[in-house]
Amino acid sequence: SRWIALDHWTFSLNFSGSTPSVQQLLQEKQVLLKFGGIDTFATVTLNGQKILEANNFHRHWAVAVKDLLVPGNNQLIISIRPAMQERLQLQEQYPYTVPSLHQFGQMGVYNFMRKPASDGGWDWAPAYMASGIHGDVELVGFSNAMLEDAWVQQNKVGDQFEVIVTSELLVPPGGDS
């Protein structure tokens, strides 16, 4: 069962840039290719151009791709490298020995990669060190600033409450129109 964790995996998708929905996206100032999550070490190409080197299970990725999309066939390739091999390389490059709790069946030091710790095995979890795509993969186009995320913080100050809202905006090249 561990051969899965030690193999390279390639996911590919061909899609037409001539469809009405893609043509409509291309009318926008900015087009992003967004990934809800990639587990964990991957190279992403679009139409033969490398657009992303992913190395973190826990984050979302967004890449500007408008200039790479073509009217005909477009090819997206996500090549995922084995996390164990990447971890071993990172561990070898590190100048110090990092202690780790090692249990029977566990795959060893997981703190050299941003991946769920349980993927390397715990007392309750088998050590599969899975990899793949999690979350959505989507093209998003926009010409005006777009709300990407927001955080709300509440503080009680005496008898009153203070609310702080922090937002993250995506702004197209050239600014908001």
Angle CA(144)–CA(17)–CA(30) in degrees, nearest 5? Answer: 20
According to the model, what pLDDT value does residue 1 have? 56
At 21, which helix (H) or strand (E)? helix 20-26
Of the candidates 105, 106, 113, 107, which has an alpha carbon nearest to the alpha carbon of residue 89? 113
Res. 46: pLDDT tops 70: yes
Residue with the bigger pLDDT between 91 and 25: it is 25
167 pLDDT above the threshold of 70? yes
For the residues 86-114, what does the mean pLDDT come to? 75
pLDDT, position 109: 63
Q: How confident is the model at residue 5 (pLDDT cuts 50, 70, 90)?
A: confident
Is the pTM higher than 0.75? The answer reads yes
How confident is the model over 94-104, as a mean pLDDT?
75
Percent over 90 (pLDDT), the chain: 62
Can you give the pLDDT at residue 120? 72
Distance CA(109)–CA(69), nearest Å, equals 40
* pLDDT-based confidence at residue 117 (cuts at 50, 70, 90): confident
Strands (E), 48-145: 49-55, 61-64, 73-81, 132-133, 137-142
Instruction: Indicate the pLDDT class of residue 114, thresholds 50, 70 and 90.
Output: confident
Question: What is the pLDDT, as a whole number, of residue 136?
Answer: 95
